[in-house]
Every structure is written in structure tokens, then in C-alpha cells.
Amino acid sequence: MNTESKSAESMNAMAEQTPARQDPGRHDFAVVDSEILLEAPIIAVRRDQVSMPGGRVAAREIVEHFGAVAVVAADEVGRICLLNQWRQAAGQRLTELPAGLLDYADEDPLAAAKRELVEEAGLEADDWALLTDMFTSPGFAEEAVRIYLARDLRAVVKPVSDDEEADMTSAWVPVGEAVEKVLAGEVQNAIAIAGITLAAQVLLHGAAPRPAETPFAIRPTRLAKRREQQLGAGADLKRIKRA
């Protein structure tokens, strides 16, 4: 057998031993097994065993989440309401938007946003629009947040707050100045950065937001459905026993 024939046979043998790979962008990352590692009031952690290109199965830890809503509240002169709140994970106070979890079973996102705007800013609004839906940390967490733009505002009685919210302050900032704060690194909360920059496109440059009733297609559901089965329809999904 000549050298070329031996080389061809060797290459064919290697090809038979190597798992076939699909074209990039077409693989089905199927979950072949899954287990819950942690159940806590506002999150859970699960480990998925995921089929990878080439036939390998790899473990991926995922933070399950209820999803959340946030609100850019803009007054008639183009100022927006920004909050300053302590965040234990960050170890500092952050500039943020009024926001909160979708932590009641089957809660409508717009209703949740209206509730949070009252509770955190003492405001109600007659005009609501959708700025964006976004994943906050898709490398390891399911959390998705819907950000609204609220206009035609009026002040209402703000409920008494507790815990971190009892220390929270608020300020009205022109939207252009808020963008400057983002660019200067003074705003480090990703949801606030997205909301401020998108609101500026609407308020300063005439961009058209989407209707507030647009379906929240990326809203996470796995944790909420499991808690609803345990606690019942309409329940506060945080009310579980701590481990």
C-alpha cells in the first residue's frame, strides 16, 4: 500500500472516531436532566445537564427568578425620577429606577409596575408605554425585566417603607443630565442604564415606544409555576419556609 493510501485510511478512521458536528448556530441544547439545588424566597438555583455540540453533556447552574418590572417616570418638563437605594450584593447605594419583582402568582406586569411606582415614588401615571424587555445576567440567571415609560404623573400618598426602602431617597433629574451620569459612570445599575438611555431616545429624540400591553415574551415562568403549585393561585410567591 502506498503512502497516500495509508494517509487516506488514517484520515477516514479519525473521521469515524470524531463525533459529527452541526453547522454553528443550529445545535439543540437539550436538557437531559435537572435538579433543584436551593429554594429561597426570591430565587431558586437549579443544575441542568445540557447536551453540547459534539455529544458532550455539561452541567450549568441557573438562578431561577420571578422576573421584574421597572419604571422611568417622566414629568412634563422632561425630568425623571431616580432613586438611591442600598444594595447588599453591591455593597453600596445605587442610582436606580422604581422597580420590583413579579412575585404574585399570575400578576400582570403593568399592574405590578403601577404598584411599584406608588410604593417607591409616591406617583401614579395615566400614560404608559414599553421601553424594553431585557435579560439582566443571561450567563447564569433567568431574570428578565420589563421597563416602562410612565407619563402624565400625579403625586399620591407613598406607603410607609421598611428595610432598605426605609433608607431610600429620590430625586428629579433632567433626562439629558441622567444620560450624562450614565456616561460618567455614576449610574451602575444595568436596568437604570437601559431605562435612562432608552427614555432619552423617546423624550429627546422622538423615538416611538411600544404599547404597554405588548406580551412579555421573555418573562421567566419556571419558578413562579412551581411556587404557585405549592401556594395556590394569587399567592405571594416569596412565602416559603427558609431552609
Q: Report how far residue 103's alpha carbon sits from residue 116's, in angstroms, rounded to the nearest whole number.
A: 12
The answer to whether residue 107 is catalytic is no
Question: Of 119, 124, 165, 180, which one is the catalytic site residue?
Answer: 165
- Report residue 69 as a C-alpha cell: 418590572
User: What b/e string do you get for 197-221 counting C-beta neighbours within 10 Å, with b at 16 or more?
Assistant: bbbbebbeeeeebeebeeebeebbe
- CB 190: neighbour CB atoms within 10 A? 13
Q: Report how far residue 32's alpha carbon sits from residue 29's, in angstroms, rounded to the nearest whole number.
A: 9
Q: By 3-state DSSP, what share of the chain in percent is helix, strand and coil, each rounded to 5?
A: 30, 35, 35
Question: Which residues belong to the active site?
Answer: 165
